Structure 1
Amino acid sequence: MASEPVVESPGERPGDPDGFQRLWTPHRMVYIGGENKPTDSTAKQCPFCRAPQRDDADGLIVHRGVAAYVVMNLYPYSPGHLLVCPYRHVSDYTDATPAEVAEIAGLTRRAMRVVRSVSHPAGFNLGINQGDVAGAGIAAHLHQHVVPRWPGDANFLPVVAQTKAVPQLLDDTRALLAQAWDSA
């Protein structure tokens, strides 16, 4: 008696279609695994101390000020997610100098104007996470988040898959924001 071929149901083998659309973001494993996270809190290992030593495109820097600068977030929550950092390796907002505080505030306002002119978000999340327990990915160096938001941009992906869909490459976003910086 001849055996009938075994027909597997969709989704039984890896890679088989199963009705789900998949958004593969393997680059996020670097962040999840902590590959780019400094092993200590020294300025030598700090990505926010190293970025200004590179050229703007390589360092993802959008604008350089006197006491602080604006850089793309390497692991953005949304397109145009910027960080405003003092050049000085300081971890606590209360230890920032008056000049650093003033420039961080001014650059945050300017960053919002620039992002609005380039990508027209409906709103922003602004924030400084102080310490590991507060969610700071790099707790050793103060940085202000400027996160543009659009209706419907928060969906199930971060909850169920620890994944965020970012539809624009960092270098493309950086170039648009840097080009618009002086005119916004």
Structure 2
Amino acid sequence: MGRARTCTDRRLSCRASLAPLAILVAVVTLVLVIGGGDGSYEVRARFLDAGQLVKGNLVEVAGQRVGKVKDIRVTDDGRAEVVLRITSERYRPLHRGTRLTIRTVGLAGVANRYIEVQPGSRQAPAIADGGVLQTDATTGIVDLDQLLDAFGPPARRDLRAIIVASAHGVRGNARATNRLLRYLSQQSARPARCWRTSPRTTRPSAA
């Protein structure tokens, strides 16, 4: 009787000592799954065109750096798969509804490329570590060279002629041009006011 009670007590003691260890293992596993194992979090974004992105380009939210481009691959269907490493705790995990856009700063160049993130609602399902954002959630970049290449030679000649003619037209009239641009900017910012102050038109009376 005493021996049976001793065995039972030992089993209960073993279970009690294993419980904290099991909890610790569960917590560590959860951290590894959600945080990517090293305090970071990665998602894969597919673009129709990588837009000259390179490894190390920044990932930003509203001008704030939140991560980097870790890798760029080509999928079997010829699309660009960009691996984003999100290091900011505030923006991991991302949520469904997130949109990614390749942007450029200043003059064109691979060093000026970055990915702008528009986070989805926090109420939406989370994107798991290693999850994929398809092309319907991404937007590439259109370079000026690509835009001009879309025109044929006649259209490019006409565009060049328009630009040259415009330059000649404002030559020597820089001040007047600047005043006009400021005026147009002010008026476009106050459409309601312009509408209220514009003269009312009256329909002519019937003869």
TM normalised by structure 1 equals: 0.22
Q: Whose strand proportion is higher, 1 or 2? A: 2
Q: Greater Rg, structure 1 or structure 2?
A: 2
Q: Whose helix proportion is higher, 1 or 2? A: 2
TM normalised by structure 2 equals: 0.20
Higher relative contact order (CA 8 A, sep 6+): 1
